[in-house]
Structure 1
Amino acid sequence: MNSPVTVVTLSDAGRLAHLVRQAAAIPPGVGHVVVALGDAEALADALPDSEVIALGEFSLAGARNLGGDVAAKRDQGGAGMIVFLDADCLPGPEMIDHYRLALDAHPDAVVAGPVTYLPDGDARTSRPEPHPVRPCPPPGTLLLADDRGYELFWSLSFALTTDTWRRIRRTFGGFDKGYTGYGAEDTDFGQHLRHHGIPFIWVGGADAFHQWHQVSDPPWEHFPDILRNAERFHEIWGFWPMRGWLEKFADEGALVYRDDRWVAVNSKLATTPHPTGGAQPDRLPPRPVK
């Protein structure tokens, strides 16, 4: 595949240091599109070689759709590659090449690679230690997801051809802007891939490295968004996303599960200060409720 390759990411100035490291780690000749969720001027000043686009609203789904569309306009032929990479993620030195080889073999698929969560102060792009919940095939091998495997789709690092992105936009619109604030829009995207028969493949060796930042676990600052978006997802797909977080909110007294619904019983807990720690993704246990 000798067509254009573009990395798309979303950010604001709060992730600027991480984003500058990301831009420096992207191989020469690969485009970099940054959709600004705020602070567009600051991002543009710090990233002179990147294309910074102001979104005009806070919508993770809308930002990914815009970024994908901007990248697609760079590739009139359609055989190029779009890589969606979280602002906190550094591309491993072979990530682009492994994605490219996977899409050469499976141009109609969406492909994803392992992500290593780094400790504080570490910005390495070698010695991967991938998150254990997601598949991690050996480098140079591919693993096709089964139906349940689509639930493990996340937007930290994935790639697809420009033609596939355009087909997704025509078929189901891309990421659903009905998910507002934080949470579930990427899990919903994965279910649309399954529903529309688009293969989802894990790519060994396409490693990304997530730089450390503080988080709360569960993320209380996003409590209303998570509950609202989980309800929307359940109405569409019939099971609950973000189950690890919902159960943690319940364990701390903010939610109860009643009549096949998560019900807020003490939302004031969401405004109470809670301890923070290093960035870790939501863990995905077997479905406890449906």
Structure 2
Amino acid sequence: MIAVITICSASRLDHVRRQQRLLTSEPVRRIVVWLDADAPPSVPEFAGAEMLHVRPGEQGMRLAAGRDRGAEAALEAGATLLVLLDADCLPGPDLLARYGAAAAAHPGALLCGPVTYLPEGVLPEDAGDLPALTAPHAARPAPPDGENVPGEHRLFWSLSFAVTAEAWRTVGGFDESYEGYGGEDTDFAFTARAAGVPLVWVGGAHAYHQHHPTSTPPWQHLDDILRNGRLFADRWGTWPMQGWLDAFAAAGAIERTPGGWRRSPVVPDRSGPHG
């Protein structure tokens, strides 16, 4: 049995409703984990899905804990393949089949599919509309359909990935010390690498990221990135999210010290839409 696990909040409700509509026609167990403090809403698209509720922690949304709770529920239900898909991502028509085939060929691997970022205003309602929109993000490998290639763990994205029940148990799930935005997915990938779990890019397992306003770098998550980045650095000896840290530093918002990155004494007044 395949279980598709999605963590979401009210800010992504429209996105996840569109995603869940596409998944209702698939022979999968759908698990939706609500991350806001308030109870999840009752919407038609959630009918038939197992709804879980993981409330925020002291530092913000508990993305790592949400994914772990979803995976635990899937394993308890007897799922043999876990597909984790972010709330703003739509599954391509062949995503589940390609992940399933890759899991059969690489049962002990962390499986990642290409992700296309859709332009603003493009809101597909039918899975058949997606292939024509395919334009995988250039920062990640995108093998030809049906081909699987080994990859580097540092490039792991939690937007769309799959693991067998066996591989999930080997990794041990996400580290729930991470709260708020950033770092938990790279930590998961590094933990997989340390456990001897390879990463494989799966050609044809396309997901489609729906547009939403954000800022680059994500100013609204600066404190989360610093806090979670330090947690990661203490564990792995290097800081994640380096591109964002460089951008914050170039803007004068943070500075490098012998102990790592920290806020600058005078932080520029920046604001941006929430991502």
TM-score normalised by structure 1 residue count = 0.86
Q: Give secondary structure in 1 for the equivalent of 2:131.
A: coil
2:223 match: 224
Corresponding position of 1:118: 118
Q: Which amino acid aligns with 2:3?
A: T
Query: Does structure 1 conserve the Cα–Cα contact (< 8 Å) formed by 2:22 and 2:90?
Result: yes
Distance in 1 between the 2:254 and 2:239 partners?
A: 14
Asked whether the equivalents of residues 254 and 267 of structure 2 are also in contact (C-alpha less than 8 Å), the reply is: no
Contact kept, 8 Å, 1:44 with 1:50, in 2: the verdict is: no
Aligned to 2:236: 237
Structure 2, unmatched stretches of 5+, are 125-129
AA aligned opposite 1:143 = V
Q: Is the 8 A contact 1:13 1:43 kept in 2?
A: no
**Unaligned runs of at least 5 residues, structure 1:** 280-290
What RMSD in Å do the two structures reach over aligned CA positions?
1.8
| 1:7 corresponding residue in structure 2 | 4
Equivalent position amino acid for 1:158 in 2: F
Give, in angstroms, the shift of residue 273 of structure 1.
4.3
Instruction: Find 1:159's aligned residue among 155, 159, 162.
Output: 162
Q: CA contact under 8 A between 1:184 and 1:233: conserved in structure 2?
A: yes
1:24 corresponds to 2:21: yes
Counterpart amino acid of 2:144? Answer: P
* CA distance in 2 between partners of 1:180 and 1:118 (Å): 28
Q: Show structure 1 runs of 4+ deviating over 2 A.
A: 43-46, 166-169, 266-269, 272-277
**Residue aligned with 1:144, SS:** strand
State whether residues 20 and 45 of structure 2, in contact with CA within 8 Å, keep that contact through their aligned partners in structure 1.
no
Deviation per CA, 1:204-257, whole angstroms, max 9, x where unpaired?
A: 000000000000111111111101111111111111110111011111111122
TM-aligned CA distance change 1:41 to 1:259, over 3 Å? closer
> Where do 1:1-290 residues align within 5 Å?
4-26=1-23, 27-38=25-36, 39-43=38-42, 46-57=45-56, 58-75=61-78, 80-124=80-124, 125-127=130-132, 128-145=134-151, 149-169=152-172, 174-259=173-258, 261-266=260-265, 268-269=267-268, 272-276=269-273
Amino-acid identity (%): 42
Q: Check the 8 A contact 2:149/2:201 in 1, yes or no.
A: yes
Alpha-carbon distance, 1:275 to partner: 4.7
TM-aligned CA deviation for residue 186 of structure 1 = 0.2
* 1:88-108 deviations in Å (ceiling 9; x for gaps): 000000000000000011111
Instruction: For 2:154 and 2:256, locate their aligned partners in 1 and report how far apart those are by CA, in whole Å.
Output: 21
Alpha-carbon offset, residue 116 of structure 1: 0.4
Counterpart residue identity of residue 225, structure 1 = D
- Contact 2:219–2:272 under 8 Å retained in 1: no
**CA shift in 2, pair 1:258/1:90, >3 Å:** same
Structure 2 distance, partners of 1:43, 1:253, is: 44
Native 8 Å contact 1:44 1:51 kept in 2 = no
CA distance, structure 1, for counterparts of residue 272 and residue 33 of structure 2: 30
What is the DSSP-based 3-state SS (H/G/I as helix, E as strand, rest coil) of the residue aligned with 2:192? helix
Distance 2:272 2:55 in 1: 32
Amino acid at match of 2:112: A
Q: Is the 8 A contact 1:142 1:202 kept in 2?
A: yes
Q: Secondary structure at the match of 2:239?
A: coil
| CA deviation map 1:170-197 (0-9, x unaligned) | xxxx111112211100000010111110
Distance change in 2, residues 1:133/1:7 (3 Å): same
